[in-house]
Amino acid sequence: MGAIIILGIILVGLLVVIFYIAGSLGKEISNSVCQRPYVWYKEECCLDENNNNICDDQDYYEYLLIIESLKETEKIKEETNYQYYEPVYESQPTYQQIYPKYICGYNAYNCRDFRTQREAQEVYEFCGGRSNDVHWLDEDKDGRACEWSP
């Protein structure tokens, strides 16, 4: 009788492990379905044009929260009659300033990431061209990115 109970416990344990592994594999398969510029979010692919691994609609929501926070800070300072306040922003920051179209702070792209030379050139110029070729897209330093790409 004791052997049957132990065998039952072992079988239940094996089933738990099998279901756990199957669930994990399903998530990995789902994540690999999305192709750039899309990312996996809440069981579906969503657009991520600025490659920050956050859905663009979520980016905008975060942007709105930042703007709301800035407005609230301004309101508090006005209510308290803060005399020596110097605004950090001369105007409200744009969405593009908070979430730029391309990553320029570190080497995030290479020529294989672009479908055409024109796309690579756009990123190259957006990030500063010759003066900031952080992605090393202009191998021969002539101002043309990924010349060897189609």
Q: Residue 103 burial (CB < 10 Å; 0-12/13-18/19+)?
A: middle
Q: How many domains does the chain have?
A: 3
- The whole-number pLDDT of residue 144 equals 92
Do 29 and 42 share a domain, yes or no?
Answer: no
Do 25 and 39 share a domain, yes or no?
Answer: no
pTM attached to this predicted model: 0.37
Residue 11 has pLDDT above 70, yes or no: yes
Q: 15: number of CA atoms within 13 Å, CB side?
A: 6
Do 88 and 45 share a domain, yes or no?
Answer: yes
| Mean pLDDT rounded to a whole number for the chain | 75
> What tens digit of pLDDT does each residue of 90-100 get?
566 665 556 66
- The model's confidence at residue 89, banded by pLDDT at 50, 70 and 90, is low
- The whole-number pLDDT of residue 79 equals 62
- The whole-number pLDDT of residue 142 equals 92
> What tens digit of pLDDT does each residue of 126-140 get?
888 888 888 889 988
> What tens digit of pLDDT does each residue of 13-28 get?
777 777 777 665 554 4
How far apart, in whole angstroms, are the C-alpha atoms of residue 98 and residue 66? 9
Do 26 and 39 share a domain, yes or no?
Answer: no
Do 90 and 76 share a domain, yes or no?
Answer: yes
- The whole-number pLDDT of residue 126 equals 86
Residue 121 has pLDDT above 60, yes or no: yes
Do 3 and 48 share a domain, yes or no?
Answer: no
CA geometry: angle at 89 spanning 60 and 66, to 5°?
25
How far apart, in whole angstroms, are the C-alpha atoms of residue 15 and residue 7? 12
Do 39 and 23 share a domain, yes or no?
Answer: no
Do 41 and 94 share a domain, yes or no?
Answer: yes
- The whole-number pLDDT of residue 30 equals 46
Which domain, by its residues, includes 60?
A: 34-98
